[in-house]
Copies of this chain bind each other. A is one copy, B any other.
């Protein structure tokens, strides 16, 4: 059957570029360890419909570019490096309209405050930078921050209907792996300093209240971040509820005074939301 078809939204690029930069400006080395995804959007119609590659930048070239520009362009934050890369890619190919650079930065701590030896931290600094070379949208984030509190959390007063079997509790384990992403109301940002502020605020809020639900803790974290960091316009959290289920020891004539838990792998609750400035 002959039908009329056309190309819709499309993008292409290089993913999972693994770049390490060592700053040797003094004998006390510093280190940036980042994974980079590049995605370009533009007028790539001819490549798709005609097989005409004339205006395509090879994804291998994008890889080379990330390493080459890192030499002078990666100085402080991944967010600034992202804007630098976008400015280059917009110029390098006349048909490119916009670019999106996505980063995962692995953080390293000095071993015993040593000058050039490090051990890797679990938590990630993430960022996505998008732009047309003139205007940029920057978002930053936290990944793989696994937190748990052994008490001061509950889950009560919810809907009880035909399929509800879960007992209410005012004392449970609350555990989640924080994924946070936030946006800015300015480009005048010290991105690494803000990241540390948000990271500390999330940890502090996690400890400072009785949690009646993951939803409420999400809101309080977002509120605290917005109160503490004026540069942030809104923040999103994705919280898997890592359920810890009281193991039934009563079957064996034993008591379980909230001591023995099964850390269930699946399924998991998933609570997500934005907190914004009003």
B230 contacts A1, C-beta separation under 8 Å: yes
A274 contacts B47, C-beta separation under 8 Å: no
Interface size in chain A (residues, C-beta < 8 A): 135
How many copies the complex holds: the figure is 4
Contact A151 B29, CB 8 Å, known A163-B252, A278-B5 = yes
Write the chain B residue with the least CB distance to A64: B163
A188 at the interface (CB under 8 A from B): no
Question: Complex: how many Å from CA A263 to CA B230?
Answer: 36
Tell me how far the C-beta of A268 lies from the nearest C-beta in chain B, rounded to whole angstroms. 6
A134 at the interface (CB under 8 A from B): no
B159 contacts A55, C-beta separation under 8 Å: yes
Question: Complex: how many Å from CA A275 to CA B247?
Answer: 38
Question: Complex: how many Å from CA A216 to CA B114?
Answer: 20
Contact A262 B18, CB 8 Å, known A159-B55, A249-B67 = yes
With A92-B161, A117-B147, A120-B146 given, can you name 17 additional A-B contacts, CB distance below 8 Å? A2-B227, A5-B276, A5-B278, A12-B214, A13-B270, A14-B267, A24-B257, A48-B219, A56-B159, A58-B164, A59-B270, A67-B262, A111-B147, A111-B203, A112-B203, A117-B207, A118-B147
A267 contacts B1, C-beta separation under 8 Å: no
